[in-house]
Amino acid sequence: MFSETLNQIPDAPAWYPINSALKDGAEIQKAIIEAKRLRLPLHDDQPKTWDSLGALHQILTRTNPESQILDAGAEWYSTLLPWLSLYGYRNLVGNNLTFDKQNPKHVGPIRYEYGDITSMEFEDSSFDAIACLSVVEHGVEWRSYFQEMARVLKPGGVLTTSVDYFESPTDSRGQVAFGVPIRVYTREDMLGAFAIARSFGLEPTGEVDLECRDRAITWKEFGLSYTFLVFSLSMGG
């Protein structure tokens, strides 16, 4: 990822998704085109460029290169932190239960370290912005998640989350991935999640559009089709 060097800081995204469900495949292509225009490395799983672009926009517009940023549940192949490094950000952390507990790894300005996103060792009010992309649906309970994010976010900080989603139920009964049952959230699920978030002082940064058109994402291994939802919450409104 860091073999991609730029002679100047990229432009801010001119198009980005936030507080919305992914409507169709055309939006994925739009995100890919925008990332290419900005000369940002694409996610290996190209549809994930869509929500990564939304998280990038939220962080760029609400923080500065000296801000403390966390990618909660980051993978080695995640693009958000490498993208932010190209914008001059230097205080970047990615954590995951799969990372080596004894030996954090530094890649440029990014520190990758072991961590459970529902019980982290960071001090209260550590981060100006947090992203958590395509993680919560893999066995994370909303109350534990929002409680911990609210604890480590600074007042006024922003949390951007994406999940597998479709407005009506998706039958994934009996299917397991990463050691936990597969979950595709519904409109009802998300309304409940937002209520939990508010109980911890996390308020949506705008109206969240939960309407769906197409099942734009297919998980071929399990024969499941659904879409994505990306939403942003602010600590203290």
Task: Give 146-184 pLDDT, tens digit per residue.
Answer: 999 999 999 999 999 999 999 999 998 888 988 889 999
Residue in the structure block whose two tokens are 């490094």: 85
Residue in the structure block whose two tokens are 């980051």: 74
pTM: 0.95
Name which of 117, 226, 116, 133 is nearest 175 in CA terms.
Answer: 226
The span from the CA of 130 to the CA of 54, in Å, is 12
Task: Give 174-231 pLDDT, tens digit per residue.
Answer: 889 888 899 999 999 999 999 999 999 999 999 999 999 899 999 999 999 999 999 9
- The structural domains of the chain, with segments of one domain joined by +, span 20-235
CATH 3.40.50.150 fits 20-235, yes or no: yes
Alpha helices in 77-212 (DSSP H): 80-86, 142-152, 187-199
